Chain A
């Protein structure tokens, strides 16, 4: 049983790494997009495990994008380093915001994170000298000279790093802390859990991931603008993916991202405007009809069958 699992891992990883060797340019692009959305979905889920609903994924994504482009342009930082800086900037913003609002949490946190996206759109628009205002900024050259395979591998590395982070969160004491906080904060406090510390940590780590994904996105398309970089799409799609696949697990977001990501490509072509409505619908339907998502529902069935037979 155990060995089977490792064989599956190895097969999936080798297929993923070798993908650019047998796929065309378009599929590589699609896969790159799906991998970055996967990282966003999973990072969102990690914080949800502590009962905190962040609606600010696109804010950290955008902060990462802008920091990457601006440091690259103004300080001539190398593309890879600029992406790291993008992640750090997102982390610093999360730290500051978290210090202010993670003591009240709950709805306050959800509202503040949602507002964050709009706030940064306003800031970026108004700091015209620095950010290029409503028009945004262009980078003269795409990362890796625009080689789709290299960009794909970079994104794959980030997605895998996110999966590993998620598994570390699931397998260590952090898991016990976050799930206890989600269950009942008062009981969690009384068991010695420093709620603020754990949530702040999770918030900052996930923001860094989102910032890095944003940085790669900016380097890949070589430009930033308020509407594109802070687009709510980067909040809505990951949420829909995670909710469909199943929250509170690594596999859920992976499956949700895979499924919805492929669908998203077709939708974009078939429904040039308004296709986000579908993701809104997916979110609503998943919450109403399948609150545990695909993975959670299947797992529940398996457990039921097992206990029925024993």
Chain B
């Protein structure tokens, strides 16, 4: 059963084709890895799925509904949650309040309920000292707060854009465990990641983008031996 289906999606920025005829299917309760060299269009794909950009052509079917034209806030409420590669925490709110925003608007909770849910989620992710000013957080704490914020919207599908970047090995391991824990709660997850080790360890299935096109799809072992994938990555290292 697919939760999210993307058909023939194309998105251009002026002359640049950031996504070209992308097809993708997210199966219920899987963890899909989205990889590709820098500028391949991974973030753009997430942006189109979450409604930040509208596609030039193609369709997005979420949970059986066509959401291609829906505005971003509606998609969030329907159950598409996400984090941002370039994080934008709200400095005017403390950690708990930042997380509360997710449940307040993502699922329309009242203030009290939102606070309770936010506390629960913070605890679930091991995020302590939640009344703190966010300017004094560690990188790991900020990443956890971003995840908590997305989780608070109670998504069916969670899109994570490079959440491990900037973390050391131990911290990344902790986050991997958390992502697994989140999946065990019944969520479907799509992660963008650069470190192959993490992809190998974490994901059920991998999709490779290069210059806006899907060049490979399948199990990590299959994909990592695909000559097109190897050349795409070699091309980047030159």
Identify A191's interface contact among B71, B106, B111, CB under 8 A.
Answer: B106
A112 at the interface (CB under 8 A from B): no
A80 at the interface (CB under 8 A from B): no
Are the CB atoms of A189 and B71 closer together than 8 Å?
A: yes
Question: What's the Cα separation between A290 and B200 when bound, in Å?
Answer: 52
Are the CB atoms of B92 and A191 closer together than 8 Å?
A: no
> DSSP majority for the A interface?
helix
Are the CB atoms of A184 and B90 closer together than 8 Å?
A: yes
Q: How large is the interface on B (under 10, 10 to 19, 20 to 34, 35 or more residues)?
A: 20 to 34
Decide: A180 near B51, CB < 8 A? Known: A190-B82, A193-B105.
no
- On chain B, the residues within 8 Å of A192 by CB distance are 73, 76-77, 102, 105-107, 153
**In the complex, chain A residues 192-245 whose Cβ is within 8 Å of any chain B Cβ:** 192-195
18 extra interface residue pairs, beta carbon distance < 8 Å, beyond A176-B100, A184-B88, A193-B101:
A173-B105, A173-B110, A176-B101, A176-B105, A179-B93, A180-B90, A183-B92, A186-B88, A187-B84, A187-B90, A189-B71, A189-B72, A190-B52, A190-B73, A190-B84, A191-B105, A192-B107, A193-B73
How far in angstroms is the closest Cβ of chain B from A104? 15
Are the CB atoms of B153 and A173 closer together than 8 Å?
A: no
How far in angstroms is the closest Cβ of chain B from A304? 11
Chain A residues proximal to chain B, CB less than 8 Å? 172-173, 176-177, 179-180, 182-184, 186-187, 189-195, 248
Are the CB atoms of A186 and B52 closer together than 8 Å?
A: yes
How far in angstroms is the closest Cβ of chain A from B159? 10
B156 at the interface (CB under 8 A from A): no
B31 at the interface (CB under 8 A from A): no
- On chain A, the residues within 8 Å of B111 by CB distance are 172-173
B193 at the interface (CB under 8 A from A): no
Question: What's the Cα separation between A172 and B105 when bound, in Å?
Answer: 12
Are the CB atoms of A176 and B93 closer together than 8 Å?
A: yes
- Closest chain A residue, CB of each to CB of B91: A183
- On chain B, the residues within 8 Å of A195 by CB distance are 73
Are the CB atoms of A191 and B76 closer together than 8 Å?
A: yes
**In the complex, chain B residues 78-123 whose Cβ is within 8 Å of any chain A Cβ:** 82, 84, 88, 90-93, 97, 100-102, 104-107, 110-111
Question: What's the Cα separation between A177 and B97 when bound, in Å?
Answer: 11
- Closest chain B residue, CB of each to CB of A179: B92
Identify A173's interface contact among B73, B91, B102, B104, CB under 8 A.
Answer: B104
Are the CB atoms of A191 and B101 closer together than 8 Å?
A: yes
Are the CB atoms of B88 and A189 closer together than 8 Å?
A: no
How far in angstroms is the closest Cβ of chain A from B82? 6
B50 at the interface (CB under 8 A from A): yes
- On chain B, the residues within 8 Å of A190 by CB distance are 50-52, 72-73, 76, 82, 84
Question: What's the Cα separation between A179 and B94 when bound, in Å?
Answer: 12
- On chain B, the residues within 8 Å of A184 by CB distance are 88, 90
